[in-house]
Structure 1
Amino acid sequence: MSENLDYINYSCYFTVFREGEQFVSYNALSMVISGEMELNDGEHRKVFKSGDIYLVRKNQLLKFLKRPGEESEFKSLSIRFDDEMLKQMKAQDHFEVDEKVRNPVFVDLSSIPHLKYFMESLLQYQDLLENRSLELALLKQKEALLLLFGHDESLKNIVYDISDPYKINLEEFMLKNYHFNVKLDRFAYLTGRSLAAFKRDFAKIFGTAPGKWLLQKRLQEARYLLEKGKKVSDIYLDLGFEDLSHFSFAFKKQFGLAPSKLVL
């Protein structure tokens, strides 16, 4: 289960859980209370355990995997930073973000003691925050930012970067990120294009429609991994398929046999 709050979110899961769409639409500071959270941006994979804290960036592709502990459920606490408040704080700071700086998708902040103390203190306000105490939530948002920037002012380049993505190399982006489970309009947005422009540019580069290309690319990678000895259950989610039955149907239609029957 998960309490869907505007700014501060308490989550609890009793079984292994993967997020649906793998697109981060907000900047957020999170702490794992129990269990484990695995983050994977396609280049870096890291497991955060109880007490660990991390920051995630807006407008990024990121895979989440939440695992309960052996004797406890998965629990986490997250602060989502509102764009309007960030704009106001950025203006007050007279801070300009360098758009050319390539910031990481997520940042490990577990080594900062005062952030841990702050996040733990929010557990004492859970009832108030779950009852929509907006004033308290806004106050805690700002307090979190002040603690972040007090530790490392360069983090402003991450948190204050709320501008829309600019136009980038579509071919390079898609070859790197085809395995993320997001809709076409997300891919278009992240490459700095409207959906219509994305489809038009995509057809010029790859000679086919993006949906068809994504399916074929994922299935080709799946076959390669299966021939290398990987298990079906270990790969279909990582390649952007929502469930095993969808993957098996598409694989059999493409290659004429079920993935479990593939001869190594």
Structure 2
Amino acid sequence: MRILEADKQLPKIVYSCYFTRSREGEQFVPEHVFSYQIAGTLAMNDGHKDYTFNEGDFRFSRRNRLIKFVKQPPPNGEFKTLSIYLDQETLRKFSLEYGYTAEPHQEGDPVLALKSDVLYKSFMDSLVPYLQQNQTINENLQAVKLKEAILILLEVNPELKNVLFDFSEPGKIDLEGFMNRNFHFNVELKRFAYLTGRSLATFKRDFEKIFHVSPSRWLQQRRLQEAHYLIKEKGKAPSDVYLELGFEDLSHFSFAFKKTYGMAPSKI
């Protein structure tokens, strides 16, 4: 993966290139992302809905959402995507400069498929010379490019202002319902805490009041329970189930499964 950035710790313009099928680790989107699928296929899932993006597609991913995705390169080729990360500081400055404000917070799909537009394509193409030469975009030029990306998004999709300039943070929500819907996402506890509107300490305290067990213990038990159901009742393979349910590797999943159910998942 090659990165165009002003700050190597906080890349804003990212070019990803993979030769093999790939899954990301933590499945949390912290900032809005405007992306162009150059080659290959990206499959995404928010726990309720599937999204598929092919060569030439544009997409917008909303911040503070949980998403799983799989990167699939084309036959004998490379998976390539270009992503622009629109951080809150940049958007706040833009909002003040141009006077944009959002309507009251509205829920919506975590990922939006954007209709192809010549403005999108010309903007992404303008970054190609830097990608080809593996150069670093200096801080001032990067700031201009981020502003250009925002202006283009608003020109083509004016309704996005209610997403881009909504600076509210997640409020305190029903913890039990949220965890039962999202237990299969492989994210750190601090992400679950943040998305339910709690500090990590409050999240752990509230969690144990509701479930009478620690979050880590409950997550493993709940994932194993779902794995047993998917393997036994749905005929799914353990090699597919462990990633689907948030386990990081097959050996850890198999060990925990056998310890709980007395036999390896392959024997079910």
- Helix, strand or coil at the partner of 2:236: coil
- 8 Å Cα contact 1:129/1:137 also seen in 2: no
Q: 1:71 — aligned with what?
A: 76
Residue identity opposite 1:174 in structure 2: M
Residue 4 (structure 1) shift: 6.6
- 8 Å Cα contact 1:51/1:110 also seen in 2: no
- 8 Å Cα contact 1:34/1:49 also seen in 2: yes
| TM-score normalised according to structure 1 size | 0.94
Q: 1:43 — aligned with what?
A: 48
Q: 1:60 — aligned with what?
A: 65
Q: 1:104 — aligned with what?
A: 109
- Helix, strand or coil at the partner of 1:173: helix
Write the deviation string for residues 77-117 of structure 1: whole angstroms up to 9, x where unpaired.
01111321100112234333344310221110143332123
Q: 1:242 is matched with which residue: 239, 243, 248?
A: 248
CA 1:98 to 1:250, structure 2 compared with 1: closer, same or farther past 3 Å? Answer: farther
CA 1:129 to 1:150, structure 2 compared with 1: closer, same or farther past 3 Å? Answer: farther
1:256 maps to 2:265: no
1:165-244 equivalence runs, <5 A = 165-227=170-232, 228-244=234-250
Q: 2:39 — aligned with what?
A: 34
Q: 1:3 — aligned with what?
A: 3
- 8 Å Cα contact 1:129/1:136 also seen in 2: no
- 8 Å Cα contact 1:34/1:50 also seen in 2: yes
CA 1:233 to 1:208, structure 2 compared with 1: closer, same or farther past 3 Å? Answer: same
Q: 1:146 — aligned with what?
A: 151
Cα distance in 1 for residues equivalent to 2:214 and 2:33: 34
CA 1:153 to 1:110, structure 2 compared with 1: closer, same or farther past 3 Å? Answer: closer
Write the deviation string for residues 10-32 of structure 1: whole angstroms up to 9, x where unpaired.
11011111010001111110111
Bigger shift: residues 99-108 or 142-151: 99-108
- 8 Å Cα contact 2:242/2:249 also seen in 1: yes
Cα distance in 1 for residues equivalent to 2:4 and 2:90: 19
Residue identity opposite 1:231 in structure 2: A
- 8 Å Cα contact 1:24/1:57 also seen in 2: yes
CA 1:161 to 1:222, structure 2 compared with 1: closer, same or farther past 3 Å? Answer: same
1:115 maps to 2:157: no
Q: 2:8 — aligned with what?
A: none
Cα distance in 1 for residues equivalent to 2:84 and 2:171: 26
Write the deviation string for residues 109-149 of structure 1: whole angstroms up to 9, x where unpaired.
14333212321232123257732322221111111111110
Q: 1:88 — aligned with what?
A: 93
Q: Give percent identity, aligned residues only.
A: 50
Residue 3 (structure 1) shift: 2.5
Residue 173 (structure 1) shift: 0.8
Q: 1:23 — aligned with what?
A: 28
Structure 2 unaligned segments of length 5 or more: list them. 6-10
Residue identity opposite 1:164 in structure 2: E
Cα distance in 1 for residues equivalent to 2:215 and 2:115: 39
- Helix, strand or coil at the partner of 1:47: strand
Q: 1:155 — aligned with what?
A: 160
- Helix, strand or coil at the partner of 1:214: helix
- Helix, strand or coil at the partner of 1:12: strand
- 8 Å Cα contact 2:130/2:136 also seen in 1: no
Residue identity opposite 2:211 in structure 1: F
Residue identity opposite 2:80 in structure 1: K
Compute the RMSD of aligned alpha carbons.
Answer: 1.6
